Structure 1
């Protein structure tokens, strides 16, 4: 299910008609596979060359993937040895913390927002849960799916199998993901028609995806618009409260 297909999509600076004088970048992660962190790193390198000041990561309808890939993605935005997620079960062997390594390229502490919805699951919930709990990003959208368990399969004598949960994933603030999901900082619902149009746009074979058009975003994607507004607010506040003599560049 989570093969080595390109998992980083749509990396670009958003249209100034949406972002004003600020350079807000966007990137969508469709799953977490082995190359995801490297793909993201290359995309961020290019966006930083273009003057990116803030970033929106879109995890909507991301079903998850490899746990280590999700942790490696977080490592690009968090200090080394930061706990991203932990597993807790009934026995000691199931207690484990997953932390960022010192290998990932450290990025500037630019403002970030993460988009999520009910289709964001597993690894996507680990990433948004960590970035939210550690105050590294504003999470915008709707409560995630709630898939965060470690399961084993036991083969039975009659040839059938029994799947059972041995541990659950917890965010850095010890919130259990399974069955609860991760609640956004800013809840922005979308109508069924808006979700249908967004899905159809992303499935388009066009070279320029319809969902990248500013007019499409204005009419169909209130979650993206709210994330943009939130980041603009953060940067305006930083400008107004910068120490004397310090200039916050637009």
Structure 2
């Protein structure tokens, strides 16, 4: 371990703040390293990683439960459903919306029960036109349970960023296999397409910048609904009829007694 002391130059009469800052920078650059790490392989890797035991061994249903709890903490509304009931859940999440903008590659099966007018985004609508639309419906790329974060990729399911920011109501459909426990696993999934445009959403848009009063809808949608599609539960096996004991007929010897 290299001997190192944090000796800073003392400000002398007539020395300006700029000279003092530059002198400190020169001192820091000339100082030897605090440790013996010289290569990337020597950097400690004790932080949480995508292959962390907690990430790999936690039951998927528990991970989804944590996601739901975090989303609800952010005042988002979560609709837990199954693949067969997903269209009805999407329609319920959209509520009374009359117009809904959707990305070009949104699965048709999700919108079979929607009564609102669906507007497929072709990239031509400007913010003023998008502001006149009641809601937006998108898929997602990844959902992070521990932080309650939904990750959208700028593709045919997530859409361009403008459609997820301008309309006042955002409905996101999340498949069970898109839910991960922690941020490292999410970053690993996002690394499959590092050049993509990513949007990370943790609850409805809100700020408390002015007098610590919470105001929603300042930087994005005021309302956020998440439709979580989970595997259908296994059917309960029918109970077998109870077998009644067979009564043996009395023998001749017993009848003569």
TM-score of the superposed pair, with normalisation by structure 2 = 0.23
- Tell me which of the two structures has the higher relative contact order, counting C-alpha pairs closer than 8 angstroms and 6 or more residues apart: 2
| Larger gyration radius, structure 1 or structure 2 | 2
TM-score, length of structure 1 as denominator length: 0.23
